[in-house]
């Protein structure tokens, strides 16, 4: 399976819009962090929902790359997110993903999202990726 | 209820990060459009999932403002999105929201997302907003 | 594609636990009805959530059978349901499904649920079925 | 907070249709079990999706009763379930719920579902209940 460095290289080349930093990846899991600045805030000092969705989506993608190898054609088929608490306005968002199914063509990951330095879950997401048939693990 | 122009004014003042244009709003519904440029594309020329989620989230928010009045404290509590087809890479994304429940404190909207100029639904979302108690309509 | 009668025959043989009646099926859509009796009620005279989920799940399944043919191995991979209003306690529940994606291996349907004789949507569901690869329609 | 026995008494009186057994409840969590018999099976020997949804829904309800007290008017507002693996056909289904948000009016729980005696997660659910305003915990 690819190392964290190989995944970072792939992202830099193929996905330059990515702003998430990979903290850890492997064993069906990944942890990623996204900084928060003024552009990500909403009225009331809240971190925008779409930023949280982005972090959840990327966390699952990184966990997949680290589990089945670098599969450029993995695509999100669905994502459900529940917003639980107001994140801390000026803190980075951490997404902690565990894959709960790695099938032949569908992979499902669960993500808990936190403000860095806090244990309180600010959002919870479950997302499904489709990978080219038989790329996944039966 | 506020006019489209009053909602646009509110967004410009309170939510300057917004990049969605309001095409129509009223009667428990809204249509919004978001341009797509290179920064929104993913490997393979796909419009990013988070952009589609953003459009869905904003479409529901605008429909709410047009239905119960300008409520700055409306917050998303959950969003489920299904990605159905690859959007056209260089076309704006249109989100068409209908509110399916307007309760005293919870409002639920359904959104179909299309590439502009095409009828094919590229994604479908359902989201819930919480509004301050008794702000909604019993 | 199979007729309504052929689908009913299949269900009687292969899925005798089914209690939904097929009102209509075809063209990527289906309408089904489930009676409600005391066993389906919850405290406060509410129709149970699981009954509504059952109707949503079956409505999608019937729409699939009518669209790609009788595929016994279609399985639900995910379902999201939002409960919107209290159903009428002693009225049957009608599920009205439209398929919004018919892919090679994933099919997504959207369902609105009503009490019979009422227009008010009591719940809304979106569900995904997986069908054996290449059984679906590219 | 109510004991397990008090919750069981409440269910017997108010919710006699319930078929889930409470294994444990308290501290924002609950474990419940539902037997599986022929009526719950689908073509291919699969436990029906609606049974799994029922167990998820009840597990969250029990966790709520054990956390905020016996609140008859708690109602499910949404549920998302992902089906991950085929359950073992003749084994009871166990639902293990943790509440991830206990708010003033909205409570969110996450549930993992297993066949009894197996560690493999067969389904994962996230559900939201609405409780009468200020019944929850701020």
pLDDT in tens, A49-85: 999 999 999 999 999 999 999 987 899 999 999 999 9
pLDDT tier for residue C35 given thresholds of 50, 70 and 90: very high
Q: Give the tokens for residue A134.
A: 């038989």
CB contact under 8 A, C54 and D50: yes
CB contact under 8 A, A110 and D100: no
pLDDT tier for residue B137 given thresholds of 50, 70 and 90: low
Task: Provide, as residue numbers in chain D, all residues whose Cβ is less than 8 Å from the Cβ of B105.
Answer: 105, 133
pLDDT in tens, D103-121: 999 999 999 999 999 999 9
CB contact under 8 A, A124 and D100: yes
Average pLDDT for C117-137: 89
Chain B CA closest to residue A53: B50
- The whole-angstrom separation of Cα C119 and Cα C104 is 34
Q: Measure B81 CA to nearest chain D CA, in Å.
A: 11
CA angle at residue B42 from B39 to B43, to 5 degrees?
135
- The whole-angstrom separation of Cα B60 and Cα A30 is 31
Which structural domains are found in chain A, ordered by start?
4-130 (3.10.129.10)
Give the pLDDT of residue D90: 86
Task: Provide, as residue numbers in chain A, all residues whose Cβ is less than 8 Å from the Cβ of D100.
Answer: 82, 84, 121, 124
Buried b (16+ CB within 10 A) or exposed e, C34-45: bebeeebbbbee
The phi and psi torsions of A40 (rounded to 5 degrees) equal -95, 0
- The whole-angstrom separation of Cα A7 and Cα A25 is 9
Q: Which residues pair with C41 in a beta bridge?
A: C47
Give the pLDDT of residue C72: 77
Beta-carbon neighbour count of residue D128 at 10 Å?
24
Closest CA to C75 of D78, A79, D85, A129: D85
Query: Which residues numbered 89-128 in B keep a CB inside 8 Å of some CB on A?
Result: none
How large is the ipTM?
0.93
- The whole-angstrom separation of Cα C78 and Cα C91 is 27
Q: Measure C106 CA to nearest chain A CA, in Å.
A: 9
Name the DSSP class of D88: P
pLDDT tier for residue C137 given thresholds of 50, 70 and 90: low
Q: Give the tokens for residue A124.
A: 């919870």
Average pLDDT, chain A: 92
Minimal Cβ distance to C43: which of D15, D50, D79: D15
pLDDT in tens, C80-114: 999 999 999 889 999 999 999 999 999 999 999 99
Share of chain D above pLDDT 90, in %: 76
Chain C CA closest to residue A126: C78
Q: Give the tokens for residue C25.
A: 């099926």
User: Does the structure show a pLDDT above 70 at A115?
Assistant: yes
User: Does the structure show a pLDDT above 80 at B138?
Assistant: no
Does A130 contact chain C (CB < 8 Å)?
Answer: yes
Minimal Cβ distance to A42: which of B15, B79, B80: B15
Task: Provide, as residue numbers in chain D, all residues whose Cβ is less than 8 Å from the Cβ of A108.
Answer: 82, 84, 124
Task: Provide, as residue numbers in chain D, all residues whose Cβ is less than 8 Å from the Cβ of C71.
Answer: none
Q: Which residues pair with B109 in a beta bridge?
A: B99, B127
């Amino acid at each position: 399976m690819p190392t964290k460095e190989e995944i970072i290289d792939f992202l830099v080349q193929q996905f330059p819009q990515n702003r998430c930093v990979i903290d850890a990846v492997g064993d069906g899991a990944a942890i990623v962090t996204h900084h928060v600045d003024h552009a990500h805030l909403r009225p009331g000092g809240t971190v925008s929902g779409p930023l949280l969705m982005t972090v959840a989506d990327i966390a699952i993608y990184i966990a997949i790359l680290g589990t089945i190898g670098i599969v450029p054609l993995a695509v999100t088929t669905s994502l459900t997110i529940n917003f639980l608490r107001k994140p801390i306005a000026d803190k980075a968002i951490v997404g902690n993903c565990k894959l709960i199914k790695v099938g032949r063509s569908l992979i499902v990951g669960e993500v808990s999202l936190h403000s860095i330095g806090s244990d309180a879950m600010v959002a919870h997401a479950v997302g499904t990726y489709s990978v080219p048939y038989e790329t996944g693990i039966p």
